[in-house]
Structure 1
Amino acid sequence: MKSKITLKELAKLLNVSVSTVSKALHDSPEISPKTAERVKELAKLHNYRPNPVAVNLKKSKTGTIGVVIPNISNNFFARVLSGMEAQAQKHGQQIITYISNESLEREKQICDMLTSGFVDGVLIAVSEETQKKNDYEHLYALLEYEIPLVIYDRINIGLPTDKIGVDDEKSFYDATKFFKAKGLNKLGLASAIHHVGIGQLRIKGFEKAMESGGEAYKATSTKPAELKRKIRELVTSDRVEALLCTDFESAIMAARVAYEENVDIPRDLKLIGYIGKDVAEFLTPSLSYIEQHPQEIGSNAVEVLNKRLNGESQPGKFEEKIIATTMVHLESTRF
Structure 2
Amino acid sequence: MKSKITLKELAKLLNVSVSTVSKALHDSPEISPKTAERVKELAKLHNYRPNPVAVNLKKSKTGTIGVVIPNISNSFFARVLSGMEAEAQKHDQQVITYISNESLEREKQICDLLTSGMVDGVLIAVSEETQKKQAYDHLYALLDYDIPVVIYDRINLGLPADKIGVDDEKSFYEATQFFRTKGLHKVGLASAIHHVGIGQLRIKGYEQAMQDEENLHTVTSTKPVDLKSKIRNLIVSEKIEALLCTDFESAILATRVAYEENIKIPEDLKLIGYISREVAQYLTPSLSYIEQHPQELGIKAVEILNNRLDGKYKTGEFEEKIVSTTLVHLESTGF
Q: Which residue of 2 aligns with 1:319?
A: 319
Deviations 1:137-194 (A, max 9, x none): 1111111111111110011111111011011111111111111111111111111101
Amino acid at match of 1:189: L
CA distance in 2, matches of 1:28, 1:316: 7
Q: Which residue of 2 aligns with 1:271?
A: 271
Structure 2: 5+ residue stretches without partners: none
- Please tell me whether the aligned partners of residues 68 and 124 of structure 1 are also in contact (alpha carbons under 8 angstroms): yes
CA distance in 1, matches of 2:331, 2:16: 53
Instruction: Indicate yes or no: 2:43 matched with 1:22.
Output: no
Secondary structure, counterpart of 1:252 in structure 2: helix
CA distance in 2, matches of 1:17, 1:106: 21
Structure 1: 5+ residue stretches without partners: none
Deviations 1:101-125 (A, max 9, x none): 1111111111111111111011000
Secondary structure, counterpart of 2:126 in structure 1: coil
Amino acid at match of 1:308: R
Which deviates further from its counterpart, 170-179 or 70-79? 170-179
Amino acid at match of 1:140: Y
- Please tell me whether the aligned partners of residues 187 and 214 of structure 1 are also in contact (alpha carbons under 8 angstroms): no
Q: Which residue of 1 aligns with 2:117?
A: 117
Amino acid at match of 2:83: G
Write the mapping of 1:141-152 to structure 2, written as runs, cut at 5 A: 141-152=141-152
Which deviates further from its counterpart, 138-147 or 35-44? 35-44
- Please tell me whether the aligned partners of residues 27 and 36 of structure 2 are also in contact (alpha carbons under 8 angstroms): yes
Deviations 1:41-62 (A, max 9, x none): 1110111110001111111101
CA distance in 1, matches of 2:92, 2:245: 39
Q: Which residue of 2 aligns with 1:93?
A: 93
Q: Which residue of 2 aligns with 1:47?
A: 47
Give every structure 1 segment of 4 or more consecutive aligned residues whose post-TM-superposition deviation is greater than 6 Å: none
Amino acid at match of 2:198: I
Instruction: Indicate yes or no: 2:256 matched with 1:256.
Output: yes
Across the aligned residues of Structure 1 and Structure 2, the Cα RMSD in angstroms comes to 1.3
- Please tell me whether the aligned partners of residues 7 and 18 of structure 1 are also in contact (alpha carbons under 8 angstroms): yes
CA distance in 2, matches of 1:251, 1:34: 49
Paired residues in the alignment total 333
Amino acid at match of 1:51: N
CA distance in 1, matches of 2:25, 2:303: 25
With the length of structure 1 as denominator, give the TM-score of the two structures. 0.97
CA distance in 2, matches of 1:334, 1:9: 61
Q: Which residue of 1 aligns with 2:107?
A: 107
Q: Which residue of 1 aligns with 2:79?
A: 79
Q: Which residue of 1 aligns with 2:197?
A: 197
CA distance in 1, matches of 2:113, 2:172: 38
- Please tell me whether the aligned partners of residues 186 and 214 of structure 1 are also in contact (alpha carbons under 8 angstroms): no
Q: Which residue of 1 aligns with 2:233?
A: 233
Identity of aligned residues (%): 80
